[in-house]
Structure 1
Amino acid sequence: MSDFDALQAAIRRHADERQAEQRACEAFLNALYHALRTSSGPGLPLNNVTLDPTPDPDSRLRPPPPGGWHAAWLRLGLCEVLVRVRREGGAFVGEYGQSGTFHLPHVSEDDLIALARRLLRDVAATYAGEDRAARPEVPLN
């Protein structure tokens, strides 16, 4: 078997795992989008939030290997923020904006709302010129 054939076999062998991760990460990003829309509370939807899935700009392989990043641009009114997410040991691990990170071992509606509110606060602080490193970490719950 040539090296090329070995590469093709490895890609095929892990296709189901990759596709399951991709579906889970896309579902997470979609759920975060919905959490952002409802982050102001019941009956107060944010109508100027949109989701634009995109290939991860830092990815050097397509399709992403197992454990690879999946990304989307979230438009939040006048700005856009790139959110990247991947699965790590059953948890969702991600990055957003300039330096925001998250690790969610369990994903509930409350967890997503808390993440959405933290994301909004962090992006607002970035535009306000506040140093995130000087602010204490805000817990998700």
Structure 2
Amino acid sequence: MSDFDALQAAIRRHAEARQAEQRACEAFINALYHALRTASGPGLPLNNVTLDFTPDPANRLRPAPPGGWVAAWLRLGLCEVLVRVRRTDGVFQGEYGSDGVFRLSAISEDDLIALARRVLRDVAATYTSQNSGNAGQLN
């Protein structure tokens, strides 16, 4: 078997696990998007939040190997924030902006809303030049 054939076999062997990880991460980002829309509280939806999945700019291989990042731009009114998520040992690990990080093992609605509010606070702090949480300058 040539090196090329070995590479193709390895990619095929791990395709199902890789696709399952990608679907889980996409579902997580979609749930975060919905949490951002409701982060202002009951009956106060944020209507100017949009979601646009994008190839992760840091991925150097396609398809991304197992444990690779899934990325999306979240538009929050007048700004956009790149969010990257991957699964590590059953835990969702993510990054947003340049310094924001999170790690969630429980994915309840309350956990997602708390994360959404933290993202909003960190982005607002960046634009008002305040330090809040883990985010510094996002761009």
Q: How many residues align?
A: 135
* CA distance in structure 2 between the aligned counterparts of 1:96 and 1:19, rounded to whole angstroms: 22
Summarize the alignment of residues 90-109 of structure 1 with structure 2, pairs less than 5 Å apart.
90-109=90-109
In the alignment, structure 1 segments of 5+ residues that lack a partner are none
What does residue 27 of structure 2 align with? Answer: 27
User: Counterpart of 1:116 in 2: which secondary structure?
Assistant: helix
Q: 1:106 to 1:43 in 2, by over 3 A?
A: same
Q: Are 2:100 and 1:116 aligned?
A: no
User: Counterpart of 1:92 in 2: which secondary structure?
Assistant: strand
User: Counterpart of 2:7 in 1: which secondary structure?
Assistant: helix
Contact 2:70 2:86 in 1 (8 A): yes
How large is the RMSD of aligned CA atoms in angstroms? 1.3
Give the AA of the match of 1:45.
P
* CA distance in structure 2 between the aligned counterparts of 1:13 and 1:106, rounded to whole angstroms: 29
What does residue 75 of structure 1 align with? Answer: 75
TM-score, length-scaled by structure 2:
0.94
* CA distance in structure 2 between the aligned counterparts of 1:79 and 1:4, rounded to whole angstroms: 44
In the alignment, structure 2 segments of 5+ residues that lack a partner are none
Q: 1:68 to 1:136 in 2, by over 3 A?
A: closer
TM-score, length-scaled by structure 1:
0.93
Give the AA of the match of 1:41.
G
Q: 1:9 to 1:136 in 2, by over 3 A?
A: closer
CA shift at 1:98, angstroms?
2.2
Q: What do residues 55-90 of structure 1 show as CA deviations (whole Å, max 9, x unaligned)?
A: 001110111100000000000000000000000010
